[in-house]
Chains A and B, each alone.
Chain A
Amino acid sequence: MPVQFPAVSRWLHWTMAAMVLTMLGIGAAMVVSLGDYHALVSIHRPLGIAILILVVVRFVNRRLNPPPPFPATMSSLERRVATASELVMYGLMALLPLVGWGMLSAARYPVVLYGSLHLPFILPHSPRLYALLRQAHTILAYVFFATFMAHLSAILFHTLIVRDGMLKRMAPWSIRPSQKAS
């Protein structure tokens, strides 16, 4: 039986997975939407900030609750790639909201979360900075989607082809520790 991630880590993983996929979907949809644009943007901003807060929690949690060892079915190269992709996703979960917040600040769009609750500007009013960060926001989102697809592919391959129970390491439910065979 594979060793599971701690419960807190699994909770953070699936909560943030849902949030991030929602964000990628909303982001893709809102830039081509007329009628739903306002509603989508109104969700996109606070959800992004929520991810920014949770990724800090998650980073601290990773220090407190290190991931279990990789299964033996992973080569050392695969392990390095997996760790690197995890770090890339952690980085993007922090960077994308920061770039979003920064670009709204540079454009002097109020960073409204809900009602009168809003965040301060973190950059000066600058068209160039806005244009640059707006573009970076899109590019980073595509990188995130590509990384997510690679992550999903690897998990599916391990779970369905290698059959090493990779998905169970992160299963939302606890796996009963099985009796040691032999």
Chain B
Amino acid sequence: MRPPGPGCNDKNPTFPAWVETFPRMGASQECMNADQPLTTAGAVTRLAVIGLVLAVAAGGFAYLGGWLTPRALTPGSFADAFQRANGVHAGFRRNHAKGVGVSGFFESNVNGARFSKAVVFRPGRVPVLGRFSLGGGQPYAADSAATVRGLGLQFTLPDGETWRTAMINLPVFPFRTPEAFYEQLVASTPDPRTGKPDPAAMKAFLDRHPETARVMSVLKTEPVPSGFDNTTFYGLNAFRFIDASGRSTPVRWLLIPEQPFAAAGNDAASQDKNRLFDALIAQIERQPLRWHLVLVIGQPGDPTHDATIAWPAGRERVDVGTVTLDRVEAEDISAATDINFDPLVLPAGIGTSDDPLLSARSAVYSRSFTRREGEAKQPSALTSADVRREK
């Protein structure tokens, strides 16, 4: 027989219900639905259901968090690969580790408003913060003309919006997907036994990725300019511009220097490990440097998902304004140091495209940013003292 259970009006039973009532569960008819006590089999079944629900909840969370797929490529494993290739340099970006901050302004000529409702293309000036960099994760590497040159820019719009772009000096990118970039990073990681990358690994990579081999042969024919000042920077991926009526246009952009082209000299001719940066500092000190922001207007059918393919020559190019950089600061004081030039920080009027690199860049840059912001800062290759000396 059932012992008497607690009544429904008994608001403060003196025993822990779940311990003491187990043998007589469902006992109190006044407040319980079950008339009958649970049989052992019934209790086991119900406990199994509870276990199943909890396992599904925990398993679903674990699945989403990637614990069930430890070999999947993630922002973290990407950042790890950069660290294996370059070593860990606390406080520095995992890629494009060496750089200096710059600032200035963008002056819109209103041509951009044809394609985008973004406030940045309205008439007027907006402040610009930027960072020139060299590719690779070595913050103290010697400057070399052949190294990829980077320029990150942040436009601060009058309505409080922000536009960031991270550009490099390559008109087309050698990798179509994040996976290809990762494979190349692994293939170019020095072998701990020899201290050098395994040439066979790189060859195997290029065999698997003919698009990379194709882009690299095109890039070899590109003339290399002498410095940052006369380098053309490319936005790398395609984006979508949205105008005031909602019309969407595929767009790529580039920054064309006003400074005249001169061919790069021989790296060996200079003893200065920082010669590209030192030259940039001296140039900005002499006079502000200017670039034209030029949009390349895509046509329907132009690929927006593949950064390895250039759009056909003859696509309309629209000069939408001038970027003027008139101030240079070392990383120890520049606000650009602690900015993530995430290419998907976009204002209304500029949207992402179907290029898989864009979201991956955003994810990996963010992971790199989170790591370095939590680390003790080391002095950069270019310090404020160096900047003052070059001036």
Contact = CB atoms under 8 A, between A and B. Distances in A.
Interface of A: 1-2, 24-25, 28-39, 41, 69-78, 107-110, 112, 115-116, 118, 120, 125, 127-128, 130-131, 134-135, 145, 148-149, 152-153, 156-157, 160-165, 181
Interface of B: 6-18, 21-22, 25-26, 28-34, 38, 43, 46-47, 49-50, 53-54, 57-58, 60-61, 64-66, 72-76, 78, 119, 159-162, 178, 335, 338-340, 342, 344-345, 347-348, 352, 356, 358-360, 362-364, 366, 369-370, 373-374, 377
Contact of B33 (A31, A112, A127, A163): A163
Contact of A72 (B9, B60, B66): B9
B364 A107 contact: no
A41 to B, nearest CB: 8
Given A109-B345, A118-B160, A157-B50, A127 B373 contact: yes
Nearest to A127: B373
6 contacts: A2-B31, A29-B66, A33-B359, A37-B359, A110-B160, A145-B61
A41 B159 CA distance: 22
A32 B66 contact: yes
Nearest to A36: B359
Given A71-B31, A78-B16, A127 B338 contact: yes
Given A32-B66, A34-B356, 12 more contacts: A31-B74, A32-B72, A37-B75, A37-B359, A38-B362, A75-B13, A116-B119, A116-B347, A125-B338, A131-B374, A145-B61, A161-B25
Contacts of A156: 49-50, 53-54
A33 B363 contact: yes
Contacts of B8: 71-72
Contact of A131 (B6, B31, B373): B373
Contacts of B12: 76
A162 B53 contact: no
Contacts of B74: 31-34
Nearest to B360: A34
A75 B22 CA distance: 13
A74 to B, nearest CB: 6
Of A31, A120, A153, which is in contact with the most chain B CB atoms at under 10 Å from its CB? A31
Given A72-B6, A72-B7, A163-B32, A29 B65 contact: yes
A13 to B, nearest CB: 17
Contact of A149 (B11, B30, B58): B58
A158 B28 CA distance: 13
Nearest to A38: B359
